[in-house]
Each structure stands twice: as C-alpha cells, then as structure tokens.
Structure 1
Amino acid sequence: MTPDTAFAELTGILSSLLTQAELFLLSLLRPWNAYQIGIAVGLFLAAHLGARLIAPRIYEWMRGLESVAKWRMRVLVLLHRRVRMILFALLAWLAVLVMREITWPSRSYLLAIVAELATAWLFIAVITRLIGNPVLRTLVRYGAWTWVTLSILNLTELARQALDSIGISFGESRLTLWLAMQAVILLLVLITLARFATTVSAARIRSNDDISPSMQVLAVKFLQVLLYGAAFFIALKLVGVDLTGLAVLSGAIGVGLGFGLQKVVSNLVSGVILLLDRSIKPGDVISLGETFGWINSLGARYVSITTRDGKEYLIPNEDLITGQVVNWSHSNDFVRLDIYFGTAYGDDPHKVRKIAIEAAAGTARVLADRPPVCHIVGFGDSSVDYILRFWIKDPTGGLTNIRGNVYLALWDAFQEHGISIPFPQREVRVLEGSELGTRKIADERGNL
C-alpha cells in the first residue's frame, strides 16, 4: 500500500465517521431520542444524589465490621467507591425494561446503549483493580473502555480500518498502528500471565528444601528469562511479524552490545557461573578485601552483602569470580579463630596455658567438642608470647564480638590468678657532660 493510497483510505474513513456523527446528532432532535437523553441525564442525577445518601451509611457499616477477611474488605471498599456508577447502571436497566413494556423497543434504543456502556465500564473498572502495577492497570482500563465503547456503538470495523491505514513501510513489510496496538495488547496480556506463572513457580521452588539456595535462585532466573522471552516472541508471532528479519537484526545488535557492554555481559556470565558452581549462596558469610558480611541475594549483575554495621554492598559478580573470596560457611559452619597475648617471664607458662584454655572454654559460643588449645609462639623483648585457638560454629553471629569475649575472659582469669600482662617500659638516663647534665649539677649545688 502506497502512502497516497493509505492517505486516501484514511480520509474516506474519517469522512464516513463524520457523516455518521452528523446523522447521530440530527437523530437527537427527534422527540423520543431527546426524551431518552433527558431520561439518562435525570437517572445520572438521581444516582448521584442516591450515592450521596447511601455511601456514608455504607462506610459506617464497613467501619463496624470485625473479623472480616482482608480480601472481602477490599471488595467492599472497591464497591463503595463506585456506588454512583452501580446505582446509575441499575436505574438505567430498570428504565429500559419499563419503557420496553410501555412503549416500543425503538423508543428505548439510546437508553439501552447508555445502560450497556455504564455496565461495561463498571465491570472493567472493577476487574482491572486486580492488576497490581498502576501503569499497566491504567493502560488496560482505558484501552478496554475504548474498545468496549466502539463495540457497543458498532464502530470497531471503521476504527480498525483507520488504524490499519496509518503506518510505515520497511521494504516489503508494513508496520501499521493497528498491528502495533495488537502487539502491545498481546504482549501485556502474555507478560501478565508470565509474571503470574513465574510468581507461582518461584514460590514452589523456594519451598522445596531438596534444592540448594543457589540452585533455587538459578532456577527462578532461568524461568523468568524463559517465560518473558516466550511471551515477547509469541506476541510478535501472533500479530504476524516475520521473525526471520528480527533474528538478523538481533544478531547485529548482539555484536554491538558485545563490544559496548563487555562488563555487563561479564557480570551476567559470572552470575550464572556462581549459581552453577554453588561457591556462594544466600546466607553465606564471606570476606572480600575489607568487606565482611552476609549474602542477602544473588542478582543477575551483582551480589548484595550486608555488613555488621548495616551497610549493604552491591559487589559485581565478576569480582567474586576473579578475586580472592573467603567463604566462612562454604562446606561447613566450623570456623577456627586465633588470638595472641603475652605474659611476664615470671609467670609459669604451664599455668598460663591451662588458665587460658579454661577461660576460652567457658566463653559462650566456643565449641566444647573441639576444645581450645594454647601454645607458646615466641619469647619477646618483655613477654612470653602465646597463641590461643578455639572453634565456633556460628560465624553469622559475628567474629569480632566472640574474640572480644575471649579476651575479656582471659583478663578476668589472669587477674584472678595474679598473672601479669607486661607492657613496654622505658628508662631515661642523663649523661654527664651534656647540657642537661650540667644544668642538673648546677641545680643540685644551688639547693645545697
């Protein structure tokens, strides 16, 4: 279809619509049609006044309800907000039934159309509240209102022809506004279904204890990509888009993205590797450089880690693949901690080792089935140096705090048994013949 032909077709359709609109406006001048319009206006005013009277009473009744299911209360709130439209639809259908009994059906034709529109709009407004996304809900609501209105007024074919005449050509293919609208509507519907299926499947996967946390994340991510990708391609296929050209275009785009988004692609691939080899998983305690914390979630591009001070770090997946990562809970939860201390040379080292082991063993979180050990590691300038090693099984509870508790237990035990912890001491001597020494001698003679 050439642009001139498309423009001529669009002009003809618009001319036909204008002609029908003119005939409709002229028909309103007929007595019975004018009466029906007047009746519809009167019914709307009656519904408005009725809502002003009824809605407050319904609201007070709702406030007095107790032990009502949450979904039932939501339904009541939804209906309460649309009392006027409900009353108008009921009054319109009642007027149509009465007029068809008293007069001929043709004399209630316009009023029947008004009743159908009111009912359809009310039904769509209620149903679309089930859509959680506000933007998607607005698009679906107004799109459904438009389509239902055109269907009731028998203008769908003209609207389709008008939309089909607007478009652009790509060689032998033509993309029209009608085709684009179909694709968008189908895509929204399929994405909604895919999202619902993903949510249900993800809940079942996470509730399966036989699947490791990392494999659960991988399965959910794979399912999301599969369902959303299938929704996109199925929507294009249903509206008649040739996917062969799309494959060539996607290949060219993929080459460009491969050069421009190397880091992003690297992080995506690294994320898949982390999920497959299960080296880290949600809940693990890891150290990466100066960062120590717990893994919250594994994302497609980064890993979320929360530290003890409440900071949340988003570490790229590539850093976890290429860097040196300490996983404190990879194969098991057992962690050995070392602390160093020194005592004076006058203290018996056998006694010191025994007291240190007993102090560590009596500290909470230190494992009894893997008892602490204490060894001499050297003779320092002013102290005998020791290392105290002990095991814990809950690294998620923190490492610094358990070290501090063991140090405090050592302090209390050494104070109880009279064991001293030496510290460096310095002695300053003033040499004879120096300026300070001469001044000191002079001061001493003056005092004599």
Structure 2
Amino acid sequence: MDTDFKDIVDAVQMALRSVGAEVASPWFYLQFGLILAGAAIGLATNAAIRARVDTTSLAMRWPLPMRHFARVMVSSAATAVFAVLMIVSRVVMWHTTWPSRSYLLAVSAKLALAWLAICLVTSVIRNALIVRLVSIAAWLVAALSIIGQLDSAADTLDSVAIEVGGLRLSPLLLIKAGAVLLVAVWLTNIASNFAESRINRASDLTPSIQVLLVKIIRIGLLVVAIAIALSAVGINLSALAVFSGAVGVGIGFGLQKIVANFISGIILLADKSVKPGDLVTIGDNSGRISAMKTRYISVAAGDGREFLIPNEDLVTQKVTNWTYTDKNTLVKIAFATNYDADPRLVCKLAIDTAASHPRATKGKAPNCILTEFAEAGMKFSLTFWIADPDGMDNVKSDVMLALWDAFKRDGIRVPYPVREIRVRGGALPVESVVEVSS
C-alpha cells in the first residue's frame, strides 16, 4: 500500500515538473495566443454562417448522408474552423522549429477533431440528455487518450473496488457497464421501433395484438441487451443472484402497484377487452383510447384533456366500451308535448326527423313511443341508431333542434310548468317594513 501511494506521489510530482517546464517556455505563450486567436476566429465565423445560412433548407437536394453531414458541420462551424486553424498552425511550426514547441497546438487540433466526430455520431440520437452525457463522456475519454493518460486513469479507477457477493465492483467497471448499456439500449430502441413500424403496417392484426406484440418485443430485446452488455464487461450474471432477494422484497412492499399495472396491461392486451380507438366510459371519464402503455392507458376526452387511467382500474372496475363488438350505437331522446297535440302525429314527426339525419343508420328505422301521461303533458321516447358513437351528443342536439322546428311548423307546443294561485278571504295583508338604523 505504501509503495502504491509513493508511486502515485512520484507520478504527480513528475507531471507538475513537466507542466512547470512547459509554462516557463516562451513557446507556450505563443501557442496559447494562437489557440485564443483560433477560438475567436472560429466563434466569429460561426456567427457569420448562422446569420446567412438556413440549416433547415440546407442541401435539400443532396443525398441524406451528405445532407446530414453538411448540417452537422454548419452547426459546429466554430469547432471546425478552430480545428483547421490549429492544424495549419501546427504544420507551419512543425517545419519552422522543433516539433515539441507546437505540442499544445497538436493537442488542441486533436481535441477539436474528436469533438467534431462526437457531434457527428451523436446527431442521430434524439434524446438531448443522452446526447449531452454521451458527448461529455466520449470527449473525456478522447482527451485522456490524446494526452496519453487513458491507461493510467483506467488503472486508477480500477484500483478502488468492493466485493459484493463474489462480484468485484469498481468505478471502471461501472463506467464500462453504463457505456455498454447505453449503446445496447439505443440499438434496442432502434430495432424495436423498426419492428413496431412493420407490425403497425400489418393489416391482418388487430390494434390490441399489435400493441401486445410491440410490448413483448421491446421487453425481450431490452432483457437480451442488458444480459449481453453485462456479459461484455465481464460481469457474471450468476453473481447477481444476491440481489434477487432484495428485488423480491422491493416488489412485495413498494412496487406491487407497478407490477399489478404491468400484469393488468398484458391481460388487457391479451383478452382484447379494450384496444386503441375504442370509445370507453370509466367512472366519470369518457373518451377514446389514444394509447395503451405499460402502466396506464390514455383516454382522449375530445376537449384537449387526456385521462391517464392505471391498467389495474380497467381490470377491477366497471368499464363501458361503446365499440367492443359493434360500433352501432342507440341514441335516446326524451321529450314532451302538451295535451293539445296528436300523439300519433308527434311520433311520426319525431321518426321522420331522426331518419333524415345524415348519420342515422338507414337499415334500422327510428322508433318513437308514448311513455307517460304526466301532469305537465305527454312524454315520448325517440330512439334511433348511428354507425359510430363518436360525436353522439352533437347528433342528439341536431335531431332535437330539427324536432323543435318541426313542432313549430305544425303548431305543437312543448309544455312548461304553469302555477295558478287563488286567494280566498279578500286581499293579502301588507306588512310595513321598518328600517332600523343603528
């Protein structure tokens, strides 16, 4: 242990002496000035290019790879110009003086080129957070490799480790595992998106089966990617058995709802009780199912709101599915008329009005019946079918407005409450109101 500590101290002292000798040289300040000048020219060039070039319409007629490369170069113009200037400065000083006197220029050029390559590679990733993490991590690795300190940094990270159930965990191992997992998950996402696009184009599969297949493929590819990634960094999967008990306890105490919603989602997709596009009513929430996720379904209410309902609620609660086996929907309208109207004429007008609506099903004739002789008038019930429950309230409103117009034409009145007050024994006494002021 003392020997390792002494070696580290010696390495630090040697590095400090090397830096001190470099800083004391006048060539250091020349290179530093050239680096600052190159950075300033790069920033100015970048501002000028952004003011004159529209990246959206840039190279629209070029092939996709060339167009993508051109847009990345334009967005990273400052780094590209800086890299070119550093390379030119390095070549000039290489031929005019000793190569060691342009070492900082060479390092700056390599770092700039590495950042350009990283920007080009990460430009295909859509998640901004992942792009930032990958870019910073890759650039740090490139920087350590350029200055020749990658192996020593890796040895330092690997020297600190702990043993957990026969598994040796070190910072280096965790970094490697995280990087490989990130790449594996990214590739898995690409593969699953491709499979989803192919499945969604299959017209012989129902929407629920499509969603179920997509979920199974995503979960399967994710499990395989994690297993391959852990094996690639040297982690024995059997050593992870020590964590299975903790995971089981976590599921039993804190994750039971998540697991219940996940299993309920699989059940819903398998039994086809609900599927994307169905019009459902769950409690006080009604709308059309827009998406089925692992934990919940999304129900679009049609007014801009979306209800996120846990899958478990759909399994354990009453759900009204308006389009489960048949999209044909019966519309019911209750109305009343006064006793001066002919009930047979009222029923005929109501049937004709409902049948004339463009969304009324032609194969099923509307029906109107007299339901009650009430105190205020006669009550009727009009029923007719429409082919789709979507917009049922609008259809009902249209028929009621048309029925109102028909009643006006035929002199049929809608009853309204009438109250008659009879006073016996003369006029009512009027009491005077005295206002008392304090």
Q: Name the TM tier (shorter chain).
A: 0.7 to 0.9
C-alpha change, 1:408 and 1:428, in structure 2 (3 Å) is same
Corresponding letter in the other structure for 1:117: L
**Aligned counterparts, 1:44-443, within 5 A:** 44-51=35-42, 54-63=45-54, 68-69=59-60, 78-80=72-74, 82-101=76-95, 111-170=105-164, 172-396=166-390, 398-430=391-423, 436-437=424-425, 439=426
2:34 equivalent in structure 1? 43
Q: Number of aligned residue pairs: give it.
A: 426
Deviations along 1:123-175, one digit per CA (max 9) or x if unpaired, are 33443344333332222222222222222233222222211111222354321
Q: Please report how far the alpha carbon of residue 267 of structure 1 lies from its aligned counterpart in structure 2 after TM superposition.
A: 2.0
Q: Please report how far the alpha carbon of residue 255 of structure 1 lies from its aligned counterpart in structure 2 after TM superposition.
A: 3.8
C-alpha change, 1:213 and 1:156, in structure 2 (3 Å) is same
Partner-residue secondary structure (3-state), 1:143: helix
Point out the more displaced range, 228-237 or 107-116.
107-116
Contact in 2 for aligned 1:47/1:85 (Cα 8 Å): no
C-alpha change, 1:314 and 1:87, in structure 2 (3 Å) is closer
Contact in 2 for aligned 1:36/1:111 (Cα 8 Å): no
C-alpha change, 1:290 and 1:152, in structure 2 (3 Å) is closer
Corresponding letter in the other structure for 1:395: P
Contact in 1 for aligned 2:184/2:225 (Cα 8 Å): yes
Contact in 2 for aligned 1:282/1:298 (Cα 8 Å): yes
Bigger radius of gyration among the two:
1
Contact in 2 for aligned 1:334/1:391 (Cα 8 Å): yes
Question: Share of identical aligned residues, percent?
Answer: 38
Contact in 2 for aligned 1:344/1:383 (Cα 8 Å): yes
Contact in 2 for aligned 1:13/1:162 (Cα 8 Å): no
Contact in 1 for aligned 2:330/2:385 (Cα 8 Å): yes
Question: How far apart, CA to CA, are the structure 2 residues paired with 1:411 and 1:393?
Answer: 24
C-alpha change, 1:134 and 1:420, in structure 2 (3 Å) is closer
Question: How far apart, CA to CA, are the structure 1 residues paired with 2:307 and 2:273?
Answer: 19
Q: Please report how far the alpha carbon of residue 188 of structure 1 lies from its aligned counterpart in structure 2 after TM superposition.
A: 1.5
Point out the more displaced range, 39-48 or 351-360.
39-48
Contact in 2 for aligned 1:47/1:84 (Cα 8 Å): no
Corresponding letter in the other structure for 1:233: A
Question: How far apart, CA to CA, are the structure 2 residues paired with 1:16 and 1:23?
Answer: 11
C-alpha change, 1:14 and 1:328, in structure 2 (3 Å) is same
Q: Please report how far the alpha carbon of residue 15 of structure 1 lies from its aligned counterpart in structure 2 after TM superposition.
A: 2.6
Point out the more displaced range, 402-411 or 195-204.
195-204
Structure 2: tracts of 5 or more residues without a match? 430-438
Corresponding letter in the other structure for 1:47: G
* Root mean square deviation, CA, Å: 3.3
Question: How far apart, CA to CA, are the structure 2 residues paired with 1:322 and 1:29?
Answer: 73
Partner-residue secondary structure (3-state), 1:294: strand
Point out the more displaced range, 316-325 or 56-65.
56-65
C-alpha change, 1:99 and 1:429, in structure 2 (3 Å) is closer
Deviations along 1:389-432, one digit per CA (max 9) or x if unpaired, are 10111211x222222222222222122222333345444455xx
Point out the more displaced range, 241-250 or 265-274.
241-250
Contact in 2 for aligned 1:283/1:295 (Cα 8 Å): yes
Question: How far apart, CA to CA, are the structure 2 residues paired with 1:177 and 1:371?
Answer: 75
Partner-residue secondary structure (3-state), 1:314: strand
Contact in 1 for aligned 2:45/2:81 (Cα 8 Å): no
What TM-score do the two structures reach when normalised by structure 2? 0.84
Contact in 2 for aligned 1:337/1:391 (Cα 8 Å): yes
C-alpha change, 1:276 and 1:376, in structure 2 (3 Å) is same
C-alpha change, 1:419 and 1:189, in structure 2 (3 Å) is same
Question: How far apart, CA to CA, are the structure 2 residues paired with 1:278 and 1:342?
Answer: 41
Corresponding letter in the other structure for 1:328: W
Structure 1: tracts of 5 or more residues without a match? 431-435, 443-448
C-alpha change, 1:153 and 1:311, in structure 2 (3 Å) is closer
Question: How far apart, CA to CA, are the structure 2 residues paired with 1:66 and 1:103?
Answer: 46
Question: How far apart, CA to CA, are the structure 2 residues paired with 1:194 and 1:440?
Answer: 90
Corresponding letter in the other structure for 2:415: P
C-alpha change, 1:12 and 1:395, in structure 2 (3 Å) is farther
Partner-residue secondary structure (3-state), 2:263: helix
Question: How far apart, CA to CA, are the structure 2 residues paired with 1:43 and 1:346?
Answer: 102
Contact in 2 for aligned 1:13/1:158 (Cα 8 Å): no
Corresponding letter in the other structure for 2:202: N
Corresponding letter in the other structure for 1:44: I
Corresponding letter in the other structure for 1:157: D
Corresponding letter in the other structure for 1:267: N
Q: Please report how far the alpha carbon of residue 85 of structure 1 lies from its aligned counterpart in structure 2 after TM superposition.
A: 3.4
